[in-house]
Amino acid sequence: MTLAEHYSGGYSPLIIDQFKQRSFARHGVFVQPYLTAGLSVLDCGCGPGSITLDIAELVNPGVVHGIDFSALQIEQALLLQKQRAITNARFTTGSAYQLPYDDAQFDVVFAHAVLYHLQQPQQALAEFRRVLKPGGVVALRDACHTGDIMQPWDVNLAVVWQTIAQVFSYQGGNIYFGSQHKQLLLEQGFQAIVLSCSYDMFATDAEKHSIRDYWHQFLDVDHRSLIVEQQWLTALELTQQCAALDQWLANPASFFARARCEAIARK
């Protein structure tokens, strides 16, 4: 049975535009040593396809398949593919829990910022293992709030993150998930696990605005009704939390470093 998933970040034009700015050079470089020309790759949770198309250029003439359960995201990926005139990528809608691919089809399965949103990440990992060739590589990158750095820090920001964590948890996600990579990979029978960590930095004015805007959209637009209905916050308290993000942004010394845990393993 396919689980009903709800992507916590939502699909507003703001968020999709931010996703389009993602690149393999910034977000996928940890897997680059495992990519060579001619490989077959699956990008699971590909979003609007910017990273997928970067991978396609790296493994050409190999073929990269991008899959996402959002038809809107796949539409955006197909438009971007046309703009970039890349022919060795294929995009489709589908679930990480029931991948529409043959057993042992791929050399590499890549999942960036996907598993920490899922209710059953172990089920997705089992599917990744199924579609990998013997000896194939799975590459994961997920958030782990334990390592986040948001400065200057104060009690108001701590409350903001409590609310963010509540929303993720309610929808089956986990902002601390990245630290679980090794355990879950072992449970699914993966071997030769290599771990690493890196940061997504938000330090320039434009970067800080982008992350403030992201969390404003998350809290005050996409999940305002949920937060108030669940009585986690009153409408006024939610407005005050958004104001705390504005105050953080206005401080010239402010920056945010989002911690990402990375894992490479073999079938």
Per residue in 188-240, pLDDT tens? 999 999 999 999 999 999 999 999 999 999 999 989 999 999 999 999 999 99
- What is the predicted pLDDT for the residue at 232? 95
Q: Token pair of 11, please?
A: 């699909």
Specify the fold of 13-266. Answer: Rossmann fold (3.40.50)
Decide if pLDDT at 154 tops 70. Answer: yes
CA nearest neighbour of 129 among 45, 175, 121? 121
- Segment 184-189 shows an average pLDDT of 98
Band of the pLDDT at 12, cuts 50, 70, 90? low
- What is the predicted pLDDT for the residue at 1? 35
Residue whose pair of structure tokens reads 């105050």 in the numeric block: 247
Instruction: Work out the percent of the chain whose per-residue pLDDT is above 90.
Output: 90
- What is the predicted pLDDT for the residue at 5? 62
Decide if pLDDT at 96 tops 70. Answer: yes
pLDDT higher at 166 or 8 = 166
Length of the chain in terms of residues written: 267
Q: Is the peptide bond before 252 cis (omega within 30 degrees of 0)?
A: no
- What is the predicted pLDDT for the residue at 8? 62
- Point out which residues pair with 263 in neighbouring strands: 140, 195
Decide if pLDDT at 19 tops 90. Answer: no
- What is the predicted pLDDT for the residue at 2? 43
Band of the pLDDT at 20, cuts 50, 70, 90? confident
Q: Token pair of 137, please?
A: 């590589």
Q: What is the pLDDT of residues 33-67, one digit of tens each?
A: 999 999 999 999 999 999 999 999 999 999 999 99
Decide if pLDDT at 11 tops 70. Answer: no
- What one-letter code names the amino acid at 161? W
- What is the predicted pLDDT for the residue at 18? 79
Domain ranges of the chain: 13-266
Q: Token pair of 90, please?
A: 């294929």
Band of the pLDDT at 248, cuts 50, 70, 90? very high
Residues 223/165, Cβ–Cβ less than 8 Å: no
**DSSP string covering the chain, please?**
-------TT---HHHHHHHHT--HHHHTGGGGGG--TT--EEEET-TTSHHHHHHHHHHTTS-EEEEES-HHHHHHHHHHHHHHT--SEEEEE-BTTB-SS-TT-EEEEEEES-GGG-S-HHHHHHHHHHHEEEEEEEEEEEE-GGG-EEES--HHHHHHHHHHHHHHHHTT--TTGGGGHHHHHHHTT-EEEEEEEEEEEE-SHHHHHHHHHHHHIIIIIISHHHHHHTTSS-HHHHHHHHHHHHHHHHSTT-EEEEEEEEEEEE-
Mean pLDDT over the full length of the chain:
94
